[in-house]
Amino acid sequence: MAEQTLDDLRELYARVRTIAVVGCSSDPLKPGNYVPRYMRAYGYRIVPVNPRETELVGEPCRAAVAEIDEPIDVVQVFRPPEEAPAIVADAALIGAGCVWLQLGLRSEEAARVARATGIMLVMDRCMGVVHGQLGLGPGLHLGDKWHRGLDPAVLRSATEQPFLRATAGPAAGRTFATTQELVIGRADDLDAQGQIAEDAEISRRHARVRRNAVD
């Protein structure tokens, strides 16, 4: 089975809405937890599959792929490769369009089953990393907040532009675009866009705060 190109995967992501995650984990430091959390944060619905849990990543768990009774676009797999052929067969039975074996997982037998059933199989890749490679979001990177079991403060799709709103002090009610530098306090031009005037409460705890478009 030929490896998919990024263009092939771009077409896949354009169709994906719901992802069943086999081996979804309760441990926020494991890929089976932080990868589906990342995908959920960027607009995909997650259906966790784990017979030992009742709820994960905010959704009720299914014990097995065969028990899923709703449309699934991708079955993402975080289980040993010897389990992959049976998972591919079950994914085909429920009408899923693709099975995705997470980074480090390959199975020639699963590839054979995929060819026989006509289902797309992606092997040895991370859905979160590819999401970033396609420019659909920041992607997953070793050592970032997702890998440390944390959710980044600002979650957004690639098409959304966040802004900051001041809720107290002399700039209360103003909004500031995150595409430009923001200076809080002790700025030379206190009336310029993107700058907030001196505030005693802010200055007592923070001499100066800056951010730019890349945080």
Q: What is the pLDDT of residue 130?
A: 95
209 token code pair: 């705060």
Q: What's the CA gap between 95 and 71, in Å, rounded?
A: 7
Asked whether residue 209 carries a pLDDT value surpassing 60, the answer given is no
Q: What is the pLDDT of residue 207?
A: 47
Element (H, E) at 13: helix 6-15
Handedness of CA 30, 81, 123, 15 (dihedral sign): negative
134-174 pLDDT tens trace: 989 889 988 899 999 998 875 555 566 667 777 777 777 78
CB-count exposure of residue 2 (10 Å: 0-12, 13-18, 19+): exposed
3-27 pLDDT tens trace: 899 999 999 999 999 999 999 999 9
Do 17 and 70 form a contact (C-beta atoms < 8 A)? no
Do 49 and 64 form a contact (C-beta atoms < 8 A)? yes
Dihedral pair phi/psi, residue 112, rounded to 5°: -65, -45
Q: What is the pLDDT of residue 28?
A: 95
Do 22 and 74 form a contact (C-beta atoms < 8 A)? no
Q: Tell me the residue length of the chain.
A: 215
Domains of the chain: 6-148 (3.40.50.720), 163-211 (no CATH)
**One-letter amino acid identity for 126?**
C
47-89 pLDDT tens trace: 999 999 999 999 999 999 999 999 999 999 999 999 999 999 9
Instruction: Count how many Cα atoms sit within 13 Å of the Cα of residue 175 in the half-sphere of its side chain.
Output: 6
Confirm whether pTM is higher than 0.75: no
19 token code pair: 């992802």
Cα→Cα distances 62→5, 51, 70, 89, 187, Å? 31, 7, 11, 17, 55
Asked whether residue 195 carries a pLDDT value surpassing 60, the answer given is no
Q: What's the CA gap between 204 and 201, in Å, rounded?
A: 5
